[in-house]
Amino acid sequence: MAVFGGRRGDDNPALPPGQHLTASFPVLSAGPTPSIDTEDWEFFIQTETGQTHRWNWDKFLALPSEDITVDIHCVTSWSKFGTRWRGVSLDTLFSEVETGFDFVMAHSYGGYTTNLPRQELLDGKAWIAYEYGGSELDPEHGGPARLLVPHLYFWKSAKWVRGLVMQSEDNPGFWEEYGYNLHGDPWREERYS
């Protein structure tokens, strides 16, 4: 049984409150793992005007990518330090997107959604990751590509991401509709609304 809230699992100052370290990488999903061939994969950003920026797999991989080493924190109380990823920064993907809206809804293959403030995706805070630990991202961990927003609880790092739709308001996504916090900061234990 997961414990929510309370003290850190140890005295490590890098561990948010209520979290414990794990060496494994638990697999938690809101539904079945979709099978997505990179030939069919596409990522998009849609603005309030309906303009849609699209990248297929080849165009996406041609973008500048980065190696990222970050700690991740799941709302079910596990944390994993020093995870290694490779991906494309959302700064790169938003560089040609003109929008006046401050929120996005991330959409995944399989129907999952999660909401985020646009500011949480920019300034080197978020990526579309396609490798983990030096290998292609496994489907059970969100492959071929997932959103990676490591400073928020991991449900905000949508697996099997396919696009972002700009929103004028911070409308709730899948877990947020069930009472999870709209923001999800692990350092403030923003687990539930």
Q: What is the CATH number of the domain that holds 95?
A: 3.90.420.10
Q: Which helix (H) or strand (E) holds 174?
A: helix 174-177
Asked whether the beta carbons of 157 and 75 are under 8 A apart, the reply is no
Secondary structure in 3-state letters for 63-100: CCCEEEEEEEECCCCEEEEEEEEEEEEHHHHHCCCCCC
Six-digit token string for 65: 């990518």
pLDDT tens-place values along the chain, 193 residues long? 343 444 445 678 999 999 999 988 878 777 788 999 999 999 999 999 999 999 999 999 999 999 999 999 999 999 999 999 999 999 999 999 999 999 999 999 999 999 999 999 999 999 999 999 999 999 999 999 999 999 999 999 999 999 999 999 999 999 999 999 999 999 999 999 8
For residue 120, the model assigns a pLDDT of 98
Domain assignment of residue 21, yes or no: no
The number of folded domains in the chain is 1
Expressed as residue numbers, the domain containing 54 is: 42-188
